[in-house]
Structure 1
Amino acid sequence: MKNVFVLLLGFFLLISCEKEGELTRKSLENSTIGSTAILKYSGEFSPTSGINVSGFAKVYLENNEYKVKLEDIIISDGPDLKVYLSKENTPINFVNLGNFKGNGNTFYTIPTSVNVSEYQYVLIHCQEFNHLFAIAPLTSI
């Protein structure tokens, strides 16, 4: 019985880990927002239970390209953290923008095929253990 449980748990963990798809983009580690960028959406991160977080998610439009900036973010450590642009405040209907690159300021491009106005949240999610770390509800500027 114990072996069956271990097998089922391993199988569940395997199928619950989403692979990065076609829409996933690498963060723009050395990027900045230019003087022509327009701030379109902004939100402050709030934690889920057991997590400490502070900072902001900001969505800019620059040269017909949307970018997410995680600004002044400080979050509890966790494995396999991803940044999602999501339609809900849970990781159900989302675009995986890439790996969380650490505390501070980080930029991510949003694929041009994504209608940004349909996405109201930026999430930080532990993909490996399917645990939501932080939620930033976006409001239009």
Structure 2
Amino acid sequence: MKNKFLLLTFLGLLYSCEQEGSLTGDVPSAMIDEQTSMLKKQGVFAPTSSITVNGGVKIFSENSEYKLRLVDFSISNGPDLKVYLSKSNTPTEFVNLGNLNASTVYVLPKGIDLKQYPFVLIHCQQYNHLFAVAELTPNE
């Protein structure tokens, strides 16, 4: 009986990020005018174990606000994937920007200090599983 329980627990963990979560909600998308905006930071995503990810992220300054856009982005399927602006490469201190959507432009909260948030994470919130990390570097 104990072996069956361990096997079921293992299988549940293995496939837990394959189910849809109930924590999702849409984020209104913004636009970026690349003629008038200024590229502040950018990064390239690196996957965690057994995840496939491609692409990067750019943060622009436009009209007194920061906007984050995913660039040439694709990732393994997962439920309840969120975009986090994070103080570390793990989801411990972060700002949840909303549901992952490769075509969405995320407006960062007013007053955010980009120096304190050098990472963008793709995270399965429902099952607390990190999918990908991008370290941001200043655009020079």
Q: Name the TM tier (shorter chain).
A: 0.7 to 0.9
Corresponding residue for 1:140? Answer: 138
Runs of 4+ aligned structure 1 residues displaced above 4 Å come to none
Distance in structure 2 (CA, Å) of the matches to 1:36 and 1:116 = 20
Q: Which runs of 5+ in 2 are unaligned?
A: 3-20
Q: Deviations 1:47-79 (Å, cap 9, x if unpaired)?
A: 000000001110000001000001111100000
Corresponding residue for 1:127? Answer: 125
| SS in structure 1 of the partner of residue 104 of structure 2 | strand
Please tell me whether the aligned partners of residues 27 and 98 of structure 1 are also in contact (alpha carbons under 8 angstroms). no
Q: Give the Å deviation of 1:26.
A: 2.2
Distance 1:33 1:99, change over 3 A: same
- Greater Cα radius of gyration, structure 1 or 2: 2
Please tell me whether the aligned partners of residues 58 and 69 of structure 1 are also in contact (alpha carbons under 8 angstroms). yes
Are positions 1:93 and 2:93 aligned together? Answer: yes
Deviates more, 1:107-116 or 1:78-87: 107-116
**Given the two structures, how large is their TM-score scaled by the length of structure 2?**
0.77
* CA RMSD of superposed structures (Å): 2.1
For these two proteins, the number of residue pairs brought into alignment is 117
Q: Give the Å deviation of 1:37.
A: 0.5
Instruction: Report sequence identity in percent.
Output: 51
